[in-house]
Amino acid sequence: MVNTGDTAWILTSASVVLLMTPGLALFYGGMVRAKSVLNMMMMSFGALGLISVLWVLYGYSIAFGNDVGYGLLGDPTEYLGLNGLMADVTSEAGGLPSMAFVGFQAVFAIITVALISGAIADRAKFGAWMVFAGVWATIVYFPIAHWVFDFTLADDDGVVTHVGGWVANNLAAVDFAGGTAVHINAGAAGLALALVLGKRRGFGKDLVRPHNLPLVMIGAGLLWFGWFGFNAGSAVAANNTAAVAWVNTLVAAGAASLGWLLVEKLRDGHATSLGGASGVVAGLVAITPSCSAVSPVGAILLGAVAGGLCALAVGLKYRFGYDDSLDVVGVHLVGGLVGTLGVGFVATAAAPAGVDGLFYGGGADQLWRQAVGAFAVLITSFVLTYIIGLVIQTTMGFRVDEEDEMTGIDTAVHAESAYDFTSLGGGGGGAVTGGGGGAPYAGGSRSTAGTANSAARGGSA
Amino acid sequence: MRLVTAIVKPFKLDDVKLALETVGVAGLTVSEVQGFGRQKGHTEVYRGAEYQVDFVPKVRIEVLVDDADSFRVTDVIVEAARTGSIGDGKVWVTEVEDVVRVRTGERGTDAL
């Protein structure tokens, strides 16, 4: 018998989490220049297409199949093509259909891949990105999702029916919705990929400013909205844990936004819109692993720290000279570390996760578990991503050539431009091929220009 | 005939237009332009990184006038556009050889 309340909430959560990826596309797209906004957004949409297919084919099985050894990997063949998951497996006492959970976790895989794209704005071949996305999801995300999200299950008699991943079960680190598997993972991968691809031409010298900050703010708003599904949905039930996670998600993002703006006001003299939007995201990242483990006041503390720290961390790329273009490292890696390690400090047993951190008399026990989980994911992701990136770079090439990068990756790679800046209509051209209703080649403006030229020549002769 | 060209702060456009109407100017051309003078550009900050923007947005106003009116029109523009702070812009006057009204073919001062 299906528990209709839980099922409705998880399907709703999955749907709003899906909206986070188009939201991320806007958030990232507004931050790049007008000549590369489409490519930036297409990296997110490419992930939406590709990862949803891979997830159904074998991704879910690698992440949530029965463990094949040491908690590192699920059995890729167990649920190949979601085999056997269409049957109603819910018990008499009520439960969640397997497919609801499959869908909810699918959208996590999609956005984790999409997050990485911010590190390589303006310069990656779209084909190379798609190959990277598929390989990275397969080798890095699906296994790490197994480590963190796949819990060992036992039946009523205590007999183990399903063996899960090592971070969740053996280590018992608290990562409620993916501070390690999603954000530290994507952040470390972004750093590795930014190093493999190298800096954009003119990095640190030329004017590279966001072309559309309202898009960034709409994107941040959609991310915040979707994040309620991300965190509160991770309770995998419509229950008290979900409600606690919801409130913590709200207040951590708010506090982080204030923290970021405060740093900007004190350091630069202005509280900026980009800072406000970035602060929201930094807080959401930090509360992701911790939303079940901290009190709402703890969430404010974590959010404020994450907002302030990330505002400082985004400057590191200029000091160390890596072009993490849209600050995947500064926001997701740093924010993910703040949240994941923060559990070790401000977790309270009064919260649903039921563990005490250092500040609540729990000693350092939870803190070291959090640290091991965080750094295991960080190092694994960085090393594997660097290797994948290098292989793609040396075989098919990851970067577009210099001319395409300078003129703009949108026209070079996608044969489109995001905005029609010409007030005379159509950029002064006409349809080249008869796509239906278009003017024929050499009609309209071209032949007119030709006539004008010959007239001018005739006049001067 | 003379062409009076004025580069002014964008928010002063309405004041200048109203002032020109009061002295009987019947038409003008406006364009949005960018540039710098003594004011130079300005600084913007994105995620803590400072960017120097060299060109400042301005409005260019062009008015064709009779020789006798050029001083008065120039003074009216200067008075209307002035805020007293740096970056108020410039006004200059150039000689115009001929003017034709496209609709009627009238030439010279008749076309003004």
Q: How far apart are CA A91 and CA A109, in angstroms?
A: 28
Q: What is the mean pLDDT of residues A255-270?
A: 96
A202 touches chain B (CB under 8 A): no
What pLDDT score does A457 carry? 41
Residue A92 in this model has a pLDDT that exceeds 80: no
| ipTM of the shown complex | 0.74
Q: How far apart are CA A165 and CA A163, in angstroms?
A: 7
Residue A419 is encoded by which pair of tokens? 């905005």
User: What is the residue-averaged pLDDT of chain A?
Assistant: 91
What pLDDT band is residue A447 in, cutting at 50, 70 and 90?
A: very low
Domain extents for chain B? 2-111
Q: How far apart are CA A15 and CA A112, in angstroms?
A: 16
Q: How far apart are CA A327 and CA A57, in angstroms?
A: 32
Write down the residue that tokens 């993916």 correspond to.
A178
CATH topology of domain A4-410: Ammonium transporter fold (1.10.3430)
| Type of residue found at A371 | A
Residues of chain B positioned with their CB less than 8 A from the CB of A264: 45, 48
- A207–B45 C-beta distance less than 8 A: no
Residues of chain B positioned with their CB less than 8 A from the CB of A311: 47-48
Positive or negative, the Cα torsion across B80, B83, B88, B91? positive
Q: How far apart are CA B72 and CA B62, in angstroms?
A: 15
Residue B81 in this model has a pLDDT that exceeds 60: yes
Pair A122, A43: CB distance under 8 Å: no
- Judged by average pLDDT, the poorest of A274-278, A375-379, A435-439 is A435-439
Domain B2-111: which CATH class?
A: alpha beta
- B53–A270 C-beta distance less than 8 A: no
Residues of chain B positioned with their CB less than 8 A from the CB of A268: 45, 48, 50
Which tens digits make up the pLDDT trace of A421-439?
Answer: 766 554 556 666 655 444 4
Torsion angles phi and psi, residue B111, rounded to 5:
-85, -5
Rg of chain A over CA atoms, in angstroms?
24
Q: How far apart are CA A227 and CA A280, in angstroms?
A: 11
A175 touches chain B (CB under 8 A): no
Pair A51, A59: CB distance under 8 Å: yes
Torsion angles phi and psi, residue A384, rounded to 5:
-65, -40
What pLDDT score does A14 carry? 98
A265 touches chain B (CB under 8 A): no
Positive or negative, the Cα torsion across A172, A178, A182, A184? negative
User: What are the start-end ranges of the E strands in A68-216?
Assistant: 153-154, 160-162
Instruction: List beta partners, residue B92.
Output: B5
- B48–A315 C-beta distance less than 8 A: yes
Residues of chain A positioned with their CB less than 8 A from the CB of B47: 272, 274-275, 278, 311, 314-315, 327, 330
Q: What is the mean pLDDT of residues A137-165?
A: 94
Please name which of A239, A129, A135, A113 lies closest in space to residue A183, comparing C-alpha atoms.
A113
What pLDDT band is residue A63 in, cutting at 50, 70 and 90?
A: very high
Residue B41 in this model has a pLDDT that exceeds 90: no
What pLDDT score does A451 carry? 39
Q: Taking the model in full, what pTM does it have?
A: 0.86
B48 touches chain A (CB under 8 A): yes
B49 touches chain A (CB under 8 A): yes
Q: How far apart are CA B96 and CA B4, in angstroms?
A: 10
Residue B44 in this model has a pLDDT that exceeds 90: no
What pLDDT score does A443 carry? 39
Pair B70, B101: CB distance under 8 Å: no
Task: Kindly identify which residue of chain A lies nearest to residue B47, measuring between CA atoms.
Answer: A275
Count of other CB atoms within 10 angstroms of residue B24: 10
Residues of chain B positioned with their CB less than 8 A from the CB of A208: 51
What pLDDT score does A446 carry? 40
Residue A107 is encoded by which pair of tokens? 């959208």
User: What are the start-end ranges of the E strands in A14-122?
Assistant: none
Count of other CB atoms within 10 angstroms of residue A364: 12
Pair A300, A253: CB distance under 8 Å: no
- The percentage of chain A sitting over the pLDDT mark of 70, rounded to a whole number, equals 91
B102 touches chain A (CB under 8 A): no
B32 touches chain A (CB under 8 A): no
Instruction: Determine what percent of chain A falls in helix, strand and coil, rounding each to the nearest 5.
Output: 65, 0, 30
- 3-state SS of A202-218 is CCCCCCCCCCCHHHHHH
Which tens digits make up the pLDDT trace of A219-260?
Answer: 999 999 999 999 999 999 999 999 999 999 999 999 999 999
Cβ-count burial of A438 within 10 angstroms (0-12 exposed, 13-18 middle, 19+ buried)? middle
